[in-house]
């Protein structure tokens, strides 16, 4: 996805900036230079300045960046200034782990529902949110303003479920299923392929061993 000509790489770094600035704010740091931030993030100071200049810059020469202000501005860019209602489809180990992650709410992502096909899970609550059966999904979507759905289901079922979500107005899908989704352009899909990350890790370990003769 391109945003006003801004590359995916730049957009992908914004959550890291937001997270690091949050850590700095928690320990009382009020301002920071691009050079200091680069050492913490392992991104060059030049890259940081280029990234932030896409959105207006935010820094002052000789002062650097005000940590709280910059974090708040990046939060606005990321759309964290408002709430996003979300659901999780798939209440297995991964789905339940996501449901238990309370930090979502602090970023504005409000878990409204959890759905599964396993009858033994019906009525089980995770952080006060009951697990519902899939036949309840469509009426639930019609009655609630849900923007985002996280999919933690087998890839054999994901296309059918995704089509149902799109039909009922879902605008964003967080896809953990081990397959890529082809959906209308007005639906934003963010895929998280856990095995891909492990394979990248394996590649880097292998290259490191080769370079260091291990």
Per-residue pLDDT of the chain (214 residues; tens, 9 = 90+): 344 568 888 988 999 999 999 999 999 999 999 899 998 888 899 999 999 988 887 877 777 899 999 999 999 999 887 889 999 999 999 999 999 998 888 888 999 999 999 999 999 999 999 999 999 999 999 999 999 999 999 999 899 999 999 999 999 999 999 899 999 999 999 999 888 889 999 999 999 999 988 7
Q: What is the extent of the structural domain holding 191?
A: 84-196
Residue 132 located in a structural domain? yes
| Three-state secondary structure call for residue 101 | coil
Domain boundary (17, 47, 77) is at 77
Residue 150 covered by a domain: yes
- pTM score above 0.85: no
Same domain, 119 and 143: yes
49 plus 122 within the same structural domain: no
């Amino acid at each position: 996805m391109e945003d006003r000509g801004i590359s995916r790489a730049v957009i992908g770094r914004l959550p890291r900036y937001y997270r690091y600035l949050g850590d700095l704010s928690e320990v009382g740091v009020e301002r920071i230079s691009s050079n200091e931030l680069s050492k913490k993030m392992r991104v060059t100071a030049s890259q940081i300045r280029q990234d932030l200049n896409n959105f207006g810059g935010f820094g002052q020469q000789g002062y650097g960046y005000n940590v709280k202000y910059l974090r708040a501005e990046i939060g606005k860019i990321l759309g964290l200034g408002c709430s996003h209602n979300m659901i999780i489809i798939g209440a297995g180990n991964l789905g339940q782990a996501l449901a238990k992650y309370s930090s979502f709410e602090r970023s504005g992502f409000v878990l409204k529902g959890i759905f599964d096909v396993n009858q033994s899970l019906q009525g089980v609550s995770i952080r006060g949110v009951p697990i519902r059966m899939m036949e309840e999904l469509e009426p639930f979507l019609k009655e609630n303003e849900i923007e985002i759905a996280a999919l933690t289901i087998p890839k054999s079922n994901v296309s059918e479920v995704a089509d149902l979500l799109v039909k009922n107005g879902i605008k964003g899908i967080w896809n953990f299923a081990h397959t890529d989704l082809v959906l209308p352009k007005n639906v934003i899909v963010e895929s998280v392929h856990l095995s891909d990350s492990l394979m990248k890790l394996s590649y880097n370990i292998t290259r490191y061993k080769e370079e260091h003769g291990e």
